[in-house]
Amino acid sequence: MADRGIHRPPRPQGPDPEEPKLPGPTRPDKISIWPVEADRFGIDVLFHGATGFKRADQIHRSLVDSGVGCQLRQELDNGWIVRFGPVERREMLDVLNGYVW
C-alpha cells in the first residue's frame, strides 16, 4: 500500500527553536483504537478544520521527534488524522497521555 502521509523536510539542526504554541487544548474530535495482534493496537486521532490541522501537525511533529512512527493524513471534510501503531498497550497509553490528550 502506498504511503499517503504528509512528509516534511528534516528540521534544522542547532539550538532548539521555540516550539510553536498549540491553539488551545489538543483534545481530538475523535480517537479510534483497534486491536491488531497480541496486545498491540493501532490508533487514529482525528481533528477537524484549520485549528485541527495545527493541532494534528504539532502532535505529528512531536511524535516523530520522539521516535514514534506515525503518519499525518488529510481526510474528507477538512479532517486530519494522526495514525500510529501498531504499538503495545503501554506505548499506546504513553502516547495518548503524553501527546494527544
Range of 73's domain? 30-100
| CA–CA–CA angle 60, 63, 64 (5° rounding) | 85
**pLDDT value at position 47?**
94
CATH number of the domain bearing residue 67: 3.30.70
Task: Give the C-alpha separation, 14 to 72, whole Å.
Answer: 25
pLDDT digits (tens, 9 = 90+) for 9-67: 454 455 554 544 444 457 899 999 999 988 899 999 999 998 999 999 998 998 888 88
Asked whether residue 10 is assigned to any structural domain, the reply reads no
Asked whether residue 21 is assigned to any structural domain, the reply reads no
| pLDDT-based confidence at residue 92 (cuts at 50, 70, 90) | confident
- Do strands 79-88 and 30-37 pair parallel, antiparallel, or not at all (unpaired)? unpaired
Asked whether residue 17 is assigned to any structural domain, the reply reads no
Asked whether residue 36 is assigned to any structural domain, the reply reads yes
| pLDDT-based confidence at residue 2 (cuts at 50, 70, 90) | very low
Domain total for the chain? 1
Instruction: Select the more confidently predicted residue: 80 or 19.
Output: 80
Strand order in the sheet with 30-37: 30-37, 40-48, 79-88, 70-75
Q: Average the pLDDT over 65-74 and give the result.
A: 90
